[in-house]
Amino acid sequence: MCQEDKVVIAGRIRDYLRTHGGAGDSFQGIIAWWLMRQRYEESTASVHEALDSLFERGEIVKKVMADGSVWYFAAPPTGTSR
């Protein structure tokens, strides 16, 4: 593992401890619950931002489904609608 990776992981552990006062876990728990959860939350935010950007540029369209969930599709070619 390179020094940069260690610094990034240490920062993520610090962030978790800062936002979850009194937290404690085993090595396996830290990997499974702290670090994976942070990566999931970071990924969720990044995907949301990317989808918003694609929508704003007209590359994708949104469709609200009957259950209220939003689905994303490739935008139809210019001059047609979905």
Q: Please write the tens of the pLDDT for every residue from 8-46.
A: 899 999 999 999 889 999 999 999 988 888 888 888 888
Predicted TM-score (pTM) of this structure: 0.57
Return the pLDDT at 80.
58
Q: What angle do CA 63, 69, 70 make, to 5 degrees?
A: 35
Our CA angle for 34, 35, 38, nearest 5°, is: 85
pLDDT for res 14: 92
Q: Which helix (H) or strand (E) is 67 found in, with range?
A: none
Q: What is the pLDDT of residue 45?
A: 85
The residue written with tokens 């990776």 in the block is: 5
pLDDT in tens, 50-78: 999 999 999 999 999 999 999 999 998 87
